């Protein structure tokens, strides 16, 4: 390589952990002589990729930033008044810098290990409290993917509540008011069809609701901006025994009577305008609240209050086993990854502004809307909505002239389907902006009409019955941290309680917690990427389209497929979109009866959940003793269901971390019986550049960009789950109402925005661009190297479950901890908690096998870090041995008491048979970088028995 080629390839050395010297030592520990021979032993020759990946060569970080800056300038930042659930917002700088751009917040894993996650758990509890207060409903989850899918989740929840018996649907109908956001309507259509829900569109005022309905949705304020009083309608729906969800707006709710007070059973919407950039569609947190009766059926994660081993208050994810997708084929939702990071940002926005600050923002928006309404009416415009918070819909005679003037002035309005002009104001709108809008409407007269902006909100344009009188955000956390110093310290205090990738490796099997490089993240903060509305005219988003087209091509090359949809917002959404694509393909061929989906027993819970949502019938395929799919059972089931076979969902390498040699036989059998092969791409980090879904015979796959392609996990989201397909499926990929896809009769959107959480696609684009074809392939090889090195170090002391025929694992492996239950009464959880004392996050627990941990180191960790982790596990093995040998008590030992907090270690009393040093510093390296869990072991049952999922009322604090 020349000096300059070396410079271009430099990023590889930054992304991949082991150095050349370390590789030699690691190979010799494994007992192979080269990386190529390790890969040869691990991946069956029959499916190896022969050619190198067709990707552009690597570029340096510096060059990438320069280029992507240029591309960004092809996006035009217009002043946008398009609204419809997406608004300009001011991200407080203190939050931008300390949360959004801070790896201490964005590299965290989902808070399953509560003791080292108390910071984000507190922030998510703040989020739930904020949502619950503003919507006036008691139970909130910790975010969903976007407003449209949140509405669909409410619909599905109501449907299954009132139609308990799936084979006898007595209430198939769901009423949809005409004035909900168009993209929400679209997603409802998509989600309703496969599960037999009948949507009835109409005007809520004249709707006849009878006992064939299970529910209804209305928008508050509606898509025209009108603030409607739905109280009587809700009564009517309740009289028919059905439920109502109100899609709503958090900023408006600071002024409007809450959905709970109006009698709604659920509320949903987007928290985007609470300080999260537009980003051409996302990522943003959607919110979801319900009445108490739905607390066990609400989809998504809920943070709850419990106690720790010391009797102190501690937070945890509540009702974890109730997580919808864990119910597999009994699930009514597949939600897994959500939008935790963005929920945290929105919560911090409320902490920063407080109730008074939020209301002041809402007042300003409302006053400006009021002035604008007056001015436009003076100019002769007809106001279509008589009431409003921030949005006006107007009818004018000089529409074409107005739109031309707006274009010239760099202003975007919305054109409604009736041809009216919609204008949504927001936090960034100034009195000067109102003058500019008025000038655009004033096409005949050059003298701009004067406007007067009131100094105080009168709420004259909000029906009196809907004025908000109930308090919100009274909790101290929303009334304390209003100076920047306090705010900065509050965020830092929480950050310090959480173990993130900036502390140590997080070896989460199946979740691929690799480096999220700073250069990959930086463009997200640039306004030419962040300030673009998802429904901006196509002519203004050429930069986005270029980046998206390039990324689509890269992903097609990597998967050996032909077409790609970047719409799904998570892996599970990708599964759903992929299965719908299969379904639509069969429907088009007149084979709509093909609905049986085979799913191996080891599959992730989202697989069966997604299949059921796509209207498919799940048939489980057995596994063999060695973890391979039982091909005989598969053949028998494929034969049995051949007339109705839709296909199979496989994960490859399997969730057991092995490349099955039989995979091509499997895909062949399915094709032979007329089915399609869906590949779950969660383990793509073991395939890139070495093999591909297209090469093993799959027809469609999703990719978790937040696993393999460097999007950070964000503490439980954001994510992106694009799907790639073979050519024959391409016509059936999801489409979107906002794309000029006029060839399609029916839209089948799976997300609110055409490209899902478009702005974070930049991260994967940067990752692939900077590594290039060789680099991404090397990332895979080093991921497999790192996993096998750890396996080789650990297998002398632990049973490793399931290895390939040559004794190697793929990019992850499963350590069996079940034997220690018999020999020492030690559970997998004890080992997980003890790892915290060594400064590590536990690997994936009890998936896919209960009582085990699954370790996935990724390519980004170097040998020293892998060694520290192995040393920790081996040291824990010695601690277990001491229990086995009766040198340590079965009940009182460092594992059962783990994790040990600073408070426990420094307490005057120390009643244990082992020393404080053994407890807190069991190995030398820990002294260098001690991470203290902020609470002792969290009690799982107390929290579930007594579910509290909002901040406790102020009185609770005053007592303590
Ligand atoms: C992570 C994962 C999923 C789900 O992806 P989300 O982005 O969390 O929805 C599905 N299957 C497997 C095997 C996974 O590891």
Higher pLDDT, 324 or 93: 93
pLDDT over 70 percentage in the chain: 97
Work out the average pLDDT over 820-836. 97
Distance from Cα 323 to the centre of ligand 1, integer Å: 13
Res. 452 pLDDT band, cuts 50 70 90: confident
Q: Whose C-alpha lies nearest to ligand 1, atom 2?
A: 682
With the most atoms of ligand 1 within 8 angstroms of its CB, the residue from 299, 300, 324, 336 to mutate is 336
Judge if the beta carbon of residue 606 lies within 6 A of ligand 1: yes
Question: Rounded to the nearest 10 degrees, what angle do helices 571-588 and 606-613 cross at?
Answer: 40
304-324 per-position pLDDT tens digit: 999 999 999 999 998 765 566
Interior angle at CA 293, CA 289 and CA 295, nearest 5: 55
With the most atoms of ligand 1 within 8 angstroms of its CB, the residue from 571, 687, 750 to mutate is 571
Model pLDDT, residue 224:
98
Judge if the beta carbon of residue 608 lies within 6 A of ligand 1: no
Res. 262 pLDDT band, cuts 50 70 90: very high
Q: What is the CA radius of gyration of the chain?
A: 28
The yes-or-no verdict on residue 760 having pLDDT over 70 is yes
Distance from Cα 370 to the centre of ligand 1, integer Å: 47
The yes-or-no verdict on residue 745 having pLDDT over 60 is no
The yes-or-no verdict on residue 944 having pLDDT over 90 is no
The rounded distance, in Å, linking the Cα atoms of 65 and 306 is 45
Both tokens of 202, joined, read 């109409």
Distance from Cα 155 to the centre of ligand 1, integer Å: 23
Is residue 800 situated within a structural domain? Answer: no
Backbone φ and ψ for 412, nearest 5 degrees, come out as -105, 125
E strand spans, 141-278:
173-177, 198-202, 213-220, 243-249, 266-270
The rounded distance, in Å, linking the Cα atoms of 716 and 336 is 8
Work out the average pLDDT over 614-631. 93
Chain center to CA of 422: 30
Is residue 533 situated within a structural domain? Answer: yes
Distance from Cα 618 to the centre of ligand 1, integer Å: 18
Three-state SS string over 470-509 comes to CCCCCCHHHHCCCCHHHHHHHHHHHHHCECCCCCCCECEC
Work out the average pLDDT over 623-647. 95
Judge if the beta carbon of residue 719 lies within 6 A of ligand 1: yes
Interior angle at CA 400, CA 394 and CA 405, nearest 5: 90
Q: Are 845 and 853 in contact (CB under 8 A)?
A: yes
708 is in which domain, residue-wise?
527-770
| Exposure letters 915-926 (e unless 16+ CB within 10 A, then b) | eeebbbbbeeeb
Judge if the beta carbon of residue 704 lies within 6 A of ligand 1: yes
Model pLDDT, residue 590:
97
- DSSP, res 99: I
Is residue 9 situated within a structural domain? Answer: no
Distance from Cα 701 to the centre of ligand 1, integer Å: 12
Model pLDDT, residue 449:
55
* CATH code (residue 567): 3.40.640.10
Judge if the beta carbon of residue 653 lies within 6 A of ligand 1: no
The rounded distance, in Å, linking the Cα atoms of 223 and 282 is 20
Is residue 858 situated within a structural domain? Answer: no
The rounded distance, in Å, linking the Cα atoms of 943 and 837 is 24
Distance from Cα 221 to the centre of ligand 1, integer Å: 35
329-339 per-position pLDDT tens digit: 888 899 999 99
Q: Are 580 and 750 in contact (CB under 8 A)?
A: yes
The yes-or-no verdict on residue 525 having pLDDT over 70 is yes
The rounded distance, in Å, linking the Cα atoms of 344 and 91 is 13
The yes-or-no verdict on residue 446 having pLDDT over 80 is no
Cis peptide leading into 899, omega within 30 of 0?
yes
- DSSP, res 108: P
Is residue 565 situated within a structural domain? Answer: yes
The yes-or-no verdict on residue 766 having pLDDT over 80 is yes
Model pLDDT, residue 448:
55
With the most atoms of ligand 1 within 8 angstroms of its CB, the residue from 146, 149, 300, 572 to mutate is 572
Model pLDDT, residue 841:
98
Work out the average pLDDT over 438-450. 76
- H or E element that contains 304: strand 302-307
Is residue 537 situated within a structural domain? Answer: yes
Give the torsion sign (CA, 138, 143, 146, 150): negative
416-435 per-position pLDDT tens digit: 999 999 999 999 999 999 99
Mean pLDDT of the chain: 95
Work out the average pLDDT over 496-518. 97
Model pLDDT, residue 742:
46
Q: Whose C-alpha lies nearest to ligand 1, atom 11?
A: 604
Is residue 549 situated within a structural domain? Answer: yes
Distance from Cα 231 to the centre of ligand 1, integer Å: 40
Pick from 11-25, 30-44, 732-746: least confident? 732-746
The residues near 649 (Cβ < 8 Å, ≥ 6 apart) are 575, 579, 597, 598, 599, 600, 603, 607, 611, 678, 679, 680
Judge if the beta carbon of residue 570 lies within 6 A of ligand 1: yes
The rounded distance, in Å, linking the Cα atoms of 687 and 513 is 16
Judge if the beta carbon of residue 655 lies within 6 A of ligand 1: yes
The yes-or-no verdict on residue 447 having pLDDT over 80 is no
β-strands 617-621, 596-600: how paired? parallel
Q: Are 722 and 706 in contact (CB under 8 A)?
A: no
Both tokens of 399, joined, read 């529409």
By C-alpha distance, which of 568, 811, 612 is closest to 703? Answer: 568
Burial class (CB in 10 A: 0-12, 13-18, 19+), 479: middle
Percent helix, strand, coil in the chain (nearest 5)?
Answer: 45, 15, 45
The yes-or-no verdict on residue 38 having pLDDT over 80 is yes
The rounded distance, in Å, linking the Cα atoms of 9 and 7 is 5
Model pLDDT, residue 560:
98
Distance from Cα 704 to the centre of ligand 1, integer Å: 7
The rounded distance, in Å, linking the Cα atoms of 380 and 362 is 27
The rounded distance, in Å, linking the Cα atoms of 842 and 823 is 22
Q: Whose C-alpha lies nearest to ligand 1, atom 14?
A: 682
882-935 per-position pLDDT tens digit: 999 999 999 999 999 999 999 999 999 999 999 999 999 999 999 999 999 999
Q: Whose C-alpha lies nearest to ligand 1, atom 3?
A: 571
Distance from Cα 219 to the centre of ligand 1, integer Å: 31
Q: Are 779 and 688 in contact (CB under 8 A)?
A: yes
- H or E element that contains 119: helix 118-135
The rounded distance, in Å, linking the Cα atoms of 323 and 335 is 8
Give the residue carrying structure tokens 């010391």.
Answer: 310
Distance from Cα 42 to the centre of ligand 1, integer Å: 23
Res. 959 pLDDT band, cuts 50 70 90: very low
The residues near 94 (Cβ < 8 Å, ≥ 6 apart) are 352, 484, 487, 488, 491
- H or E element that contains 188: helix 182-192
Distance from Cα 806 to the centre of ligand 1, integer Å: 28
The rounded distance, in Å, linking the Cα atoms of 960 and 119 is 20
Burial class (CB in 10 A: 0-12, 13-18, 19+), 329: middle
The residues near 544 (Cβ < 8 Å, ≥ 6 apart) are 75, 280, 529, 532, 755, 758
The yes-or-no verdict on residue 854 having pLDDT over 50 is yes
* CA-606 nearest atom, ligand 1: 10
Pick from 1-10, 143-152, 245-254, 891-900: least confident? 1-10
Judge if the beta carbon of residue 716 lies within 6 A of ligand 1: no
Higher pLDDT, 748 or 33: 33
- DSSP, res 96: I
- DSSP, res 928: G
673-726 per-position pLDDT tens digit: 999 999 999 999 999 999 999 999 999 999 999 999 999 999 999 999 999 999
Res. 824 pLDDT band, cuts 50 70 90: very high
Give the residue carrying structure tokens 């096409």.
Answer: 443
The yes-or-no verdict on residue 265 having pLDDT over 50 is yes
Judge if the beta carbon of residue 682 lies within 6 A of ligand 1: yes
The rounded distance, in Å, linking the Cα atoms of 431 and 424 is 14
Distance from Cα 449 to the centre of ligand 1, integer Å: 56
The yes-or-no verdict on residue 957 having pLDDT over 60 is no
The rounded distance, in Å, linking the Cα atoms of 796 and 815 is 12
Domain count for the chain: 1
The yes-or-no verdict on residue 453 having pLDDT over 50 is yes
The rounded distance, in Å, linking the Cα atoms of 506 and 108 is 9
Is residue 657 situated within a structural domain? Answer: yes
Both tokens of 947, joined, read 């579910």
Model pLDDT, residue 392:
98
The residues near 99 (Cβ < 8 Å, ≥ 6 apart) are 105, 106, 341, 344, 345, 348, 491
Res. 960 pLDDT band, cuts 50 70 90: very low
């Amino acid at each position: 390589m020349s000096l300059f080629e070396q410079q271009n390839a430099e990023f590889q050395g930054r992304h991949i952990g082991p150095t050349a010297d370390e590789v030699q030592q690691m190979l010799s520990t494994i007992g192979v002589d080269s990386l190529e021979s390790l890969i040869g032993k691990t991946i069956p020759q029959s499916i190896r990729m022969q050619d190198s990946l067709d990707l552009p060569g690597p570029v340096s970080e510096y060059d990438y930033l320069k280029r992507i800056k240029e591309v960004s300038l092809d996006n035009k930042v217009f002043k946008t008044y398009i609204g419809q659930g997406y608004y300009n917002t001011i991200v407080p700088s203190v939050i931008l810098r300390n949360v959004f751009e801070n790896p201490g917040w964005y590299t965290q894993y989902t808070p399953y290990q509560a003791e080292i996650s108390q910071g984000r758990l507190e922030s998510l509890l703040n989020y739930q409290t904020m949502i619950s207060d503003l919507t006036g409903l008691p139970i909130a989850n910790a975010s969903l993917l976007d407003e449209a899918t949140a509405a669909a989740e409410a619909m599905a929840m109501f449907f299954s509540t009132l139609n308990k018996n799936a084979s006898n649907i007595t209430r198939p109908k769901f009423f949809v008011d005409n004035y909900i956001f168009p993209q929400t309507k679209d997603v409802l259509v998509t989600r309703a069809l496969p599960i037999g829900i009948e949507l009835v569109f109409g005007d809520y005022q004249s709707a006849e609701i009878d006992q064939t309905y299970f529910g209804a949705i209305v928008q508050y304020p509606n898509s025209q901006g009108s603030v409607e009083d739905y109280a009587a309608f809700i009564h009517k729906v309740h009289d028919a025994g059905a439920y109502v969800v109100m899609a709503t707006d958090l900023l408006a709710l600071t002024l409007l009577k809450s959905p709970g007070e109006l009698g709604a059973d659920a509320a949903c919407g987007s928290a985007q305008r609470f300080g999260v950039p537009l980003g051409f569609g996302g990522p943003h947190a959607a919110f979801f609240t319900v009445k108490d009766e739905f607390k066990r059926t609400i989809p998504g994660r809920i943070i709850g209050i419990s106690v720790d081993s010391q009797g102190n208050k501690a937070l945890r994810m509540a009702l974890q086993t109730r997580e919808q997708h864990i119910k597999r084929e009994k699930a009514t939702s597949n939600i897994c990854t959500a939008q935790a990071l963005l929920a945290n940002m929105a919560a911090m926005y409320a902490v920063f502004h407080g109730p008074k600050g939020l209301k002041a923002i809402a007042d300003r928006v409302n006053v400006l809307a009021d002035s604008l309404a007056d001015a436009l009416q003076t100019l002769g415009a007809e106001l279509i909505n008589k009431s409003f918070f921030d949005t006006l819909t107007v009818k004018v005679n000089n529409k074409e002239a107005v739109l031309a003037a707006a274009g010239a002035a760099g202003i975007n309005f919305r054109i409604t389907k009736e041809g009216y002009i919609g204008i949504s104001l927001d936090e960034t709108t100034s009195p000067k902006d109102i003058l500019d809008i008025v000038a655009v409407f004033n096409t005949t007269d050059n003298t701009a009409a004067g406007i007067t902006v009131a100094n105080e909100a009168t709420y004259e344009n909000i029906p009196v019955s809907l004025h908000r009188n109930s308090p919100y955000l009274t909790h101290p956390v929303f009334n304390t941290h209003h100076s920047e110093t306090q705010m900065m310290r509050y965020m830092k205090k929480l950050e310090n309680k959480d173990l993130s990738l900036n502390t140590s490796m997080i070896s989460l099997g199946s979740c691929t917690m690799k480096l999220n490089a700073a250069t990959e993240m930086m463009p997200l903060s640039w306004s030419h990427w962040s300030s673009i509305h998802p429904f901006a005219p196509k002519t203004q988003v050429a930069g986005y389209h270029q980046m998206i087209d390039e990324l689509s091509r890269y992903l097609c090359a990597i998967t050996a497929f032909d077409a790609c949809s970047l719409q799904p917002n998570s892996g599970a959404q990708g599964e759903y979109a992929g299965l719908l694509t299969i379904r639509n393909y069969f429907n088009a061929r007149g084979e709509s009866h093909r609905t049986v989906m085979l799913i191996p027993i080891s599959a992730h819970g989202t697989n069966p959940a997604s299949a059921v949502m796509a209207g498919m019938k799940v048939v489980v395929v057995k596994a063999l003793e060695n973890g391979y799919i039982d091909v005989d059972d598969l053949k028998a089931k494929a034969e049995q269901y051949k007339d109705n076979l839709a296909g199979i969902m496989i994960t490859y390498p399997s969730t057991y971390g092995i490349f099955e040699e039989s995979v091509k036989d499997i895909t062949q059998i399915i094709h032979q019986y007329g089915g399609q092969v869906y590949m779950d791409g969660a383990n793509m980090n073991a395939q890139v550049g070495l093999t591909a879904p297209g090469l093993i015979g799959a027809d469609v796959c999703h990719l978790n960009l937040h696993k393999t392609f460097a999007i950070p996990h964000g503490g439980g989201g954001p994510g992106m789950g694009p799907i790639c397909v073979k050519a024959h499926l391409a016509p059936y990929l999801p489409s979107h109402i906002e794309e000029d896809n006029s060839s399609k009769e029916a839209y089948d959107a799976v997300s609110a925005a055409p490209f899902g959480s478009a702005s974070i696609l930049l991260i994967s684009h940067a990752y692939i661009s900077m590594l290039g074809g060789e680099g991404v392939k090397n990332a895979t090889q080093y991921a497999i190297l790192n996993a096998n090195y750890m396996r080789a170090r650990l297998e002398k002391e632990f049973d490793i479950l399931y290895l390939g025929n040559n004794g190697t694992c793929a990019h992850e492996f499963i350590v069996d901890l079940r034997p220690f239950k018999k020999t020492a009464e030690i559970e997998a959880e004890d080992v997980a908690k003890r790892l915290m004392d060594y400064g590590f996050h536990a690997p994936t627990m009890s998936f896919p096998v209960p009582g085990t941990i699954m370790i996935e180191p990724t390519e980004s960790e170097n040998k020293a870090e892998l060694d520290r982790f192995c040393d920790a596990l081996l040291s824990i093995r010695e601690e277990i041995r001491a229990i086995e040998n009766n040198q340590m008590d079965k009940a009182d030992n460092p594992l059962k008491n783990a994790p040990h907090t600073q408070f426990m270690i420094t307490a005057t009393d120390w009643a244990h048979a082992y020393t404080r040093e053994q407890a807190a510093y069991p190995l030398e390296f820990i002294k260098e970088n001690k991470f203290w869990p902020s609470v002792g072991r969290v009690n799982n049952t107390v929290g579930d028995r007594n579910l509290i999922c909002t901040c406790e009322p102020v009185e609770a604090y005053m007592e303590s």
